[in-house]
Homo-oligomer: A and B are copies of this chain.
């Protein structure tokens, strides 16, 4: 009944994607659950958007490189019909691609969210706070810690320009990482400060180019940064004047003082500085555990940010940013809705997973799935076990009856391999007396119990 012809090659999955084993799902859910729990405590509400968006929703929002990395979905049916012969003959893949694909996989959760709030604005009340935990897809070159399918865990508040939102997002970051036991530093900056600096040095036209170089400071070092700045045509004198910005191990107060001086006559610059000041003033009122730094070299690649930008790094782990975000004033206007300032963060669940694994911080109990295996001695015992398993499950005990009448040794090995802490053995003798034999796999200890006492015993010892 089944076609076997095309199979038999060794099965595999597309590069950059992953299968997850139960233990991996369990660990990943541990991360998701903590993030979700904190989001909910702050009043964020869950939404979801489809994996596929109209290709026009996504194209042009992530820069040229981004456009190339978007996975496009081939139109169903006769996708070539209606395509002009000249175009087909030209063999221009990128042009033809846009004609034969109307849909694409989402590249992040922020642009779909902007599309969502415009589309559903009349069903929402603003300021609207949503969280969204879903996979995204990018045709990036796969490498360690970088996948083509990965999860983002976003929270955004849209429709409010209060810096209180920034403060709450920073406390969320603090709460999540303190629950996960990861020591982090939160770096913040403001794109308006960067705009002010670029304006003051007379190179406002090179904003993206210059801030991208700033952004590489930690990676390539100060000398290389200065070199690259020179290559863009900035005069050496000006580069010299920027140096204090790069050497700022100084305290927050000194940085603000310095910026106050150099940005004095820049309107965006002073506005950005005022916002940063407001955030730090509020943060002082509440004690948070993690370090929050003003970092002028922080620029963040995505060009929809217009104000605050945030990036989080784990201390003593070399894995890059594990959470990031910022404020965007114009994102919803891309879809026709003006005056909607938003600010959001996104936890990189995959990297956080890697940090927790490297630091061995996963709790032990998440590796147990089934609490009890009931050994299967044969058809008669199996019937007896069926009603016992029913009662145990009603008491909340997760249990399995071994489905086949295999040798006991094989069944015990199964319990062992599956990390099942207890095994219940019910043979003829046990069925007759009602004294059931429960073995703890870890200690090897065997206990005799009445049926009604099993659930309590396991709950107390699991």
Contact = CB atoms under 8 A, between A and B. Distances in A.
Contact of A137 (B10, B51, B387): B51
B46 A14 contact: no
B93 A130 contact: no
A212 to B, nearest CB: 13
Contacts of A383: 282, 285
A50 B403 contact: no
Interface residues of A, number: 126
Contacts of A91: 80-81, 88
A13 interface: yes
Contacts of A103: 14
A299 to B, nearest CB: 12
Contacts of A11: 57, 115, 118-119, 335-336
B160 A304 contact: no
**How many copies, total?**
2
Contact of A303 (B2, B57, B393): B2
Given A12-B119, A119-B19, A165-B403, A25 B47 contact: yes
Given A51-B137, A57-B11, A105-B73, A22 B45 contact: yes
A286 B390 contact: yes
A306 interface: yes
Nearest to A124: B21
Contacts of A304: 1-2
B42 A2 contact: no
Interface string A1-41: 11111111111111001111110011001000000000011
8 contacts: A1-B207, A2-B303, A8-B335, A10-B336, A45-B369, A74-B74, A125-B417, A168-B401
Interface of A: 1-14, 17-22, 25-26, 29, 40-43, 45-54, 56-57, 59-61, 68-69, 71-74, 76-81, 88, 91, 93, 96-97, 100-103, 105, 115-116, 118-120, 123, 125, 127, 129-130, 135, 137, 139, 148-149, 157, 160-162, 164-165, 167-168, 171, 175, 207-208, 282, 285-286, 303-304, 306, 330-331, 333-336, 369-370, 373, 376, 382-383, 386-387, 390, 393, 396-404, 413-414, 417-418
Given A9-B336, A81-B91, 20 more contacts: A2-B330, A10-B336, A11-B336, A13-B52, A19-B119, A20-B47, A21-B47, A21-B120, A21-B123, A22-B130, A25-B46, A43-B400, A52-B148, A68-B76, A68-B77, A71-B74, A73-B105, A282-B382, A282-B386, A286-B390
